[in-house]
């Protein structure tokens, strides 16, 4: 590994190789399942075969008689949990079944194979009730949630939309839909739980060790100090490991019943489709009104999403529309259907990812209706301030991204007529879309800095690295914060024995943990100066950022895509995409670039591939494996060129950086959809864009 140590104070901005790289390429980095534990037992879950009803009888005798089976756990013998207010975590607490695939028990055995086999021998009878697992716009039971995810207001209104829309010279009124999607990180969700002398240790695949500890301690009524969560390496999450799910509780329950023996529980890929969150399907009606010059006068975005009856998760699909473009009048609403389904949750850019597909598709349609180039149309509607808060932006360089992207992509030579270019059997087109993501803040992180002698500093924070590069970027930040080289920093993350850290979610990791490390370093130098003694130590919390009162803070980007569509079969290929980002300062060009490309690829995947198909008769996802739930292979991803503009933003945080984990997916699907439209003249408003939706061409 080549390590760029660089001059002290200049680590941020260097493309440092991943610190965790060598362990990962040799297969030595221990993920949750792979920590060494003595004489483990294996857990295999029982899942409900019905979508709604009650368990009337359980016959576990055959399973219990199988040699090697230690225990069959069901609601009949499971310990009562201390806090069952969150029904997702109220595992095995009653005979009620609220969705298909819900955990209704578990077999714990000496081997995985025995546990799995025994699970099939458990006979369960149900009193089945009719269920309802399909989201439709014409339901009469849609309700208004108190707020939507991330604490945003449910509805907003600016000016008089109805009046402005009625009198607009150019109008658009279309509905866009996105399907249920599953996060599918490569590493299945895993817990290894050990309950020993009242202490619970969880080797966990999570985006936040401390949040897992908090939840588990609360559910089990334990002092947080008795729960330790270990997660140094995590095989992806994309939101699905952001909040703990029922699998973690189930493993801990089993560990509680069999004290002293470690319980290993890794979900299978198929089980991941039933209980660890997903992106809700959305139905989004967008209405746009503009004057003759293409200035928006009216914007309305009405989003319908689903949640589970047992727990509300209301995805904030219309939130980006509140700030994206200037208009005289604006209305946004969210309505929710509570169904007999598993609990939806975070999936990379919840809200923005489906919402911006709708808005940016509509913007493309509206530009055409106004007779304007889609870039020009967006620039014409660039706002001066953040309409939602009335604050100026700390930095907003969307226009620069659009212009730079147009230059790099070669937008200038584009003939705006759809279906104007044909190369052999391929219809060729290009599309553009904007992107945005808020600079969120999460409270509660702390960091410790300790001088270990010989110029070396230990920097400790319970942060997570789910593949984003935290091991590396926090090392760079710590080096600059302390004014030493990266080689002098010994970073420790991913463990609740370290100072607490907020979840790796909302693209907040670097903002929150980095700011906290900066603060700890500042206090350290204040107390111990430039020549500390060995053992000198400081712990500090996240400082407030008073600038959040003065500025609206968001990241922006622009994407361009080329689409080639087979004129006969309507197969879609995306040979190239260009993304330009305005996201403040880039901490590490190498890890950042890969994050952007990966995000855009997930947007491409959202556009063309991903859809969890629910069978309404049974309420389960039919295509629940990697053979049928398609994510792109390398052959599906053409050239993706990523760059960023130099953006100085002194207001966001001490690093001047904005989060980059999620922005890549936002709007990427719309760029693809707009390119497909330009290639074919067919507008698909219902993702994914499968060939049957494009025919006849």
Candidate residues 613, 616, 646, 650; the one interacting with another protein per rule CB under 8 A: 613
Angle CA 673–675–677, to nearest 5: 70
Q: Does 594 bind another protein (CB under 8 A)?
A: yes
426 binds another protein (CB under 8 A): no
- The binder of another protein chosen from 145, 514, 598, 659 (CB under 8 A): 598
Among 7, 26, 130, 412, contact with another protein (rule: CB under 8 A): 26
How far apart are CB 588 and another protein at their closest, in Å? 9
- As measured in angstroms, the least distance from the Cβ of 352 to another protein is 19
Is 278 or 457 the residue whose CB approaches another protein more closely?
Answer: 278
Burial class (CB in 10 A: 0-12, 13-18, 19+), 293: exposed
Number of DSSP helices (H) and strands (E) in the chain, helices first: 16, 28
Using omega within 30 degrees of 0 as the cis cutoff, is the peptide bond preceding 533 cis?
Answer: no
* CB 142, CB 304: distance < 8 Å: yes
Comparing CB distances to another protein, the nearer of 397 and 668 is 668
Q: Which residue has the tokens 């208009």?
A: 327
- Residue from 113, 141, 160, 293 touching another protein (CB under 8 A): that is 113
Q: Does 625 bind another protein (CB under 8 A)?
A: yes
Q: Report the residue number, 194 or 318, with the smaller CB distance to another protein.
A: 194
Alpha carbon distance 77, 122 (integer Å): 15
- Please identify, among the stretches 115-123, 127-135, 212-220, 669-677, the one whose residues bind another protein according to the rule CB under 8 A: 115-123
Among positions 448, 593, 620, 658, the unique one binding another protein when judged by CB under 8 A: 593
Minimum Å gap between C-beta 628 and another protein is 6
Query: Would you count residue 24 as binding another protein (CB under 8 A)?
Result: yes
Q: Is 633 in the site for another protein (CB under 8 A)?
A: yes
Among 1, 412, 531, 535, binds another protein (CB under 8 A): 1
Site membership for another protein, residue 18 (CB under 8 A): yes
Exactly one of 9, 28, 173, 293 binds another protein (CB under 8 A); which one? 28
Dist CA 88 CA 77 (whole Å): 19
Q: How far is the CB of 695 from another protein (least distance, A)?
A: 6
Among 609, 620, 651, 685, which residue sits at the site for another protein (rule: CB under 8 A)?
Answer: 609
Angle at CA 609, nearest 5°, toward 605 and 612?
110
Residue 129 engages another protein in binding (rule: CB under 8 A): no
Q: Is 475 in the site for another protein (CB under 8 A)?
A: no
Dihedral sign (CA 465, 469, 471, 473): negative
- Residues in 154-213 at the binding interface with another protein, rule: CB under 8 A: 184-188
514-573 residues in contact with another protein (CB under 8 A) are 568-569, 571, 573
- Is 473 one of the binding residues for another protein (CB under 8 A)? no
DSSP for 575-612 reads EEEEEEEE-B--S-HHHHHHHHHHHHHHHHHHHHT---
Query: Cβ 356 to another protein, closest distance in Å?
Result: 19
Please identify, using beta-carbon distances, which residue of 9 and 616 lies nearer to another protein. Answer: 616
Judged by beta carbon, residue 15 or residue 260, the one nearer another protein is 15
Among 15, 79, 260, 410, binds another protein (CB under 8 A): 15
β-strands 554-566, 426-438: how paired? Answer: antiparallel
> Could you tell me if 680 and 601 are in contact, meaning their C-beta atoms sit under 8 angstroms apart?
no
State which residue, 200 or 266, has the beta carbon closest to another protein.
266
Q: Is 616 in the site for another protein (CB under 8 A)?
A: no
- CB of residue 276 vs another protein: minimum separation in angstroms? 14
Q: How far is CA 354 from CA 281, 330, 611, 662, in A?
A: 9, 19, 13, 12
How far apart CA 160 and CA 579 sit, in angstroms, is 36
Query: Could you tell me if 542 and 443 are in contact, meaning their C-beta atoms sit under 8 angstroms apart?
Result: yes
Query: In angstroms, rounded to a whole number, what is the distance separating the alpha carbons of residues 313 and 338?
Result: 10
Instruction: Say whether residue 378 binds another protein (CB under 8 A).
Output: no
User: Looking at 149-157, 223-231, 671-679, 688-696, which segment touches another protein (CB under 8 A)?
Assistant: 688-696
Asked if residue 576 binds another protein (CB under 8 A), the reply is no
Based on the shown chain and the rule CB under 8 A, indicate whether residue 112 belongs to the binding site for another protein. Answer: yes
Whether 467 and 176 have beta carbons less than 8 Å apart is answered as no
Considering only residues 267 to 326 of the shown chain, the ones binding another protein according to CB under 8 A are 268-270
In sequence order, what DSSP letters do the residues of 638-679 get, joined into one string? Answer: -EEEEEE-----TTT-TT-B---TTGGGTTHHHHHHHHHHHH
Q: How far apart are CA 566 and CA 457, in angstroms?
A: 58
Distance (Å, whole) CA 139 – CA 568:
38
Minimum CB separation of residue 546 from another protein in Å reads: 35
Q: Shortest distance, CB of residue 273 to another protein, whole angstroms?
A: 12
What is the smallest separation between the CB atom of 120 and another protein, expressed in angstroms? 7
In our burial notation (b when 16+ CB lie closer than 10 A, e otherwise), range 470-494 reads bbbbbbbbbbbbbebbbebbebbbb
Binding mask 640-659 for another protein (x = CB under 8 A): x-------------------
Least distance (Å) between residue 478 CB and another protein: 20
- Whether 662 is a known active-site residue: answer yes
Among 34, 155, 158, 291, binds another protein (CB under 8 A): 34
Answer whether 411's CB lies under 8 Å from 405's CB: yes
Two tokens, residue 31: 């993920």
Q: Is 466 in the site for another protein (CB under 8 A)?
A: yes
With CB under 8 A as the contact rule, which of the stretches 262-270, 299-307, 394-402, 450-458 interacts with another protein? 262-270
7 near another protein, rule: CB under 8 A:
no
> DSSP letters of 180-241?
-B----SSPPEEEEEEETTEEEEEE--S-HHHHHHHHHHHHT--GGGEEEE-S-----TTTT
Rule CB under 8 A: choose which of 8, 20, 126, 487 binds another protein: 20
Instruction: Determine if 232 is a binding residue for another protein (CB under 8 A).
Output: no
**What are the structure tokens assigned to 279, written together?**
């992106």
Which residue, 374 or 598, is less far from another protein as judged by CB?
598
Q: How far is the CB of 684 from another protein (least distance, A)?
A: 14
Residue in the structure block whose two tokens are 């922006």: 556
Nearer to another protein, 2 or 531 (CB): 2
Measured from the CB atom, the residue of 15 and 529 that comes closer to another protein is 15
Number of residues that bind another protein (CB under 8 A): 83
Q: How far is the CB of 422 from another protein (least distance, A)?
A: 16
| Rounded Cα–Cα distance for residues 312 and 331 (Å) | 23
Given the residues 328, 360, 404, 662, select the one marked as catalytic.
Answer: 662
Q: Is 631 in the site for another protein (CB under 8 A)?
A: yes
Backbone angles phi, psi at 17, to 5 degrees: -65, 150
Task: Assign 412 to helix, strand or coil.
Answer: helix
Cα 68–72–77 angle (5° rounding)? 145
Tokens representing 10 are 């200049």
Q: How far is the CB of 193 from another protein (least distance, A)?
A: 17
Catalytic residues: 662
């Amino acid at each position: 590994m080549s390590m760029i140590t660089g001059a002290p104070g200049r680590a941020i901005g260097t493309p440092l190789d991943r610190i965790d790289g060598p362990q990962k390429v040799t297969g030595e980095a221990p993920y949750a399942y792979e920590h060494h534990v003595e004489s483990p037992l294996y857990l295999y879950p029982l899942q409900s075969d019905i979508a709604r009803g009650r368990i009337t009888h359980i016959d576990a005798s055959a399973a219990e008689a199988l040699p090697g089976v230690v225990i069959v756990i069901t609601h009949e013998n499971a310990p009562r949990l201390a806090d069952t207010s969150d029904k997702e975590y109220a595992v095995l607490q009653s005979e009620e079944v609220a969705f298909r695939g819900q955990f209704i028990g578990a077999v714990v055995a000496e081997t995985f194979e025995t546990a799995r086999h025994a699970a099939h021998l458990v006979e369960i009878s149900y009193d089945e009730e009719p269920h309802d697992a399909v989201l439709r716009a014409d339901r009469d039971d849609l309700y208004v949630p108190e707020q939507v995810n991330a604490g945003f207001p449910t509805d907003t209104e600016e000016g008089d939309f109805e009046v402005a829309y009625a009198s607009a010279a150019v109008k658009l009124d279309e509905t866009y839909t996105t399907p249920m999607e599953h996060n599918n990180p490569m590493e299945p969700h895993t817990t290894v739980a050990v309950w020993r002398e009242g202490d619970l240790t969880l080797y966990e695949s999570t985006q936040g060790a401390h949040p897992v500890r908090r939840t588990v301690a609360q559910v089990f009524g334990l002092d947080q100090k008795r729960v330790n969560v270990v997660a140094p390496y995590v095989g992806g999450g994309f939101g699905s490991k952001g909040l703990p799910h029922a699998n973690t509780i189930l493993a801990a329950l089993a560990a509680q019943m069999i004290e002293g023996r470690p319980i290993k529980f890794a979900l299978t890929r198929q089980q991941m489709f039933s209980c660890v969150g997903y992106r809700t399907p959305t139905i989004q009606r967008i209405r746009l009104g503009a004057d003759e010059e293409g200035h928006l006068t009216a914007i309305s975005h009405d989003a319908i999403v689903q949640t589970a009856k047992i727990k509300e998760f209301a995805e904030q699909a219309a939130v980006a529309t509140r700030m994206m473009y200037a208009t005289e009048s604006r209305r946004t609403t969210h309505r929710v259907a509570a169904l007999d389904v598993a609990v939806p949750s975070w999936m990379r850019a919840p809200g923005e990812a489906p919402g911006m597909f709708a808005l940016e598709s509509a913007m493309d349609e509206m530009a055409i209706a106004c007779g304007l180039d889609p870039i020009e149309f967006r620039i014409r509607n660039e706002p001066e301030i953040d309409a939602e808060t009335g604050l100026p932006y700390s930095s907003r360089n969307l226009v620069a991204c659009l212009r730079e992207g147009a230059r790099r992509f070669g937008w200038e030579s584009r003939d705006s007529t759809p279906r104007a270019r044909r190369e052999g059997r391929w219809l060729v087109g290009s599309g553009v879309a904007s992107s945005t993501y808020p600079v969120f803040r999460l409270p509660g992180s702390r960091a410790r800095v300790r001088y270990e002698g010989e110029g070396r500093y230990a920097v400790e924070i319970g942060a997570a690295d789910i593949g984003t590069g935290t091991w590396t970027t926090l090392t760079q930040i710590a080096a600059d914060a302390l004014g030493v080289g990266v080689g002098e920093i010994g970073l420790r993350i991913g463990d609740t024995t370290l100072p607490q850290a907020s979840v790796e979610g909302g693209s907040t990791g670097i903002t929150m943990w980095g700011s906290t490390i900066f603060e700890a370093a500042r206090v350290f130098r204040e107390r111990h100066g430039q020549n500390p003694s060995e053992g000198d130590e400081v712990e500090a919390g996240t400082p407030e950022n008073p600038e959040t009162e003065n500025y609206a803070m968001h990241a922006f980007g622009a994407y361009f895509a080329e689409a080639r569509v087979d004129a006969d079969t309507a197969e879609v290929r995306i040979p190239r995409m260009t993304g330009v980002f305005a996201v403040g300062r880039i901490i590490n060009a190498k890890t950042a670039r890969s994050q952007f490309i990966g995000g855009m690829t997930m947007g491409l995947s959202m556009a063309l591939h991903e859809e969890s198909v629910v069978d309404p008769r049974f309420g389960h996802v039919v295509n629940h494996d990697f053979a049928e739930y398609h994510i792109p292979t390398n052959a599906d991803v053409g050239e993706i060129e990523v760059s960023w503009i130099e953006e100085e933003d002194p207001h966001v945080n001490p690093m001047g950086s904005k989060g980059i984990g999620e922005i890549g997916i936002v709007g990427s699907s719309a760029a693809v959809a707009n390119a497909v439209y330009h290639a074919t003249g067919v507008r698909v408003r219902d993702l994914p864009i499968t060939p049957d939706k494009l025919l006849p061409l």
